[in-house]
């Protein structure tokens, strides 16, 4: 049974892929780290809520990879996901958790972006 096509498929593949990865990482970041503001909540409760939030991450992540594969290699898709994940996490930890980001974080993220450049560079 074929699934109905999504209206976003008329957009360029990189736009759809990266857009879905951004949305999926927003959900996953909240699933993994959102509960840190609620340390008094029972662990079983935050696990259950995190799993419910993570469901939406999978609903977006799987199509992102399915749509993007072929235009991007699997290694490139994973690299995009990691850069998106770190970017969202940096904003989340600063805005939501109120944690300071220092120069060492900027250097570390820059090195990861440099690694991404190597993954995407065509070495012939």
**pLDDT of amino acid 6:** 57
- Assess whether pLDDT exceeds 90 at residue 102: yes
pLDDT-derived band at 48, boundaries 50, 70, 90? very high
> Measured between alpha carbons, how far is 94 from 82 in angstroms, rounded to an integer?
18
**pLDDT of amino acid 123:** 79
Question: pTM here?
Answer: 0.83
User: When comparing pLDDT for 51 and 122, which is higher?
Assistant: 51
User: When comparing pLDDT for 124 and 33, which is higher?
Assistant: 33
pLDDT-derived band at 9, boundaries 50, 70, 90? low
- Assess whether pLDDT exceeds 60 at residue 35: yes
**pLDDT of amino acid 1:** 57
Q: How is the chain split into domains, by residue range?
A: 14-120
> Measured between alpha carbons, how far is 40 from 61 in angstroms, rounded to an integer?
31
**pLDDT of amino acid 13:** 96
Per the CB < 8 A criterion, the answer to whether 80 and 18 are in contact is yes
């Amino acid at each position: 049974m074929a699934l109905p096509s999504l209206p976003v498929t008329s957009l360029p593949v990189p736009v759809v892929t990266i857009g879905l990865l951004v949305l999926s990482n927003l959900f996953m970041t909240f699933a993994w780290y959102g509960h840190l503001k609620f340390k008094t909540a029972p662990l079983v409760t935050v696990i259950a809520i995190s799993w419910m939030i993570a469901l939406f991450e999978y609903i977006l992540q799987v199509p992102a990879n399915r749509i993007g594969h072929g235009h991007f290699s699997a290694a490139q898709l994973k690299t995009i996901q990691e850069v998106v994940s770190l970017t969202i996490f940096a904003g989340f930890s600063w805005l939501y958790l109120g944690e300071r980001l220092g120069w060492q974080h900027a250097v570390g993220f820059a090195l990861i972006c440099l690694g991404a450049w190597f993954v995407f560079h065509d070495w012939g």
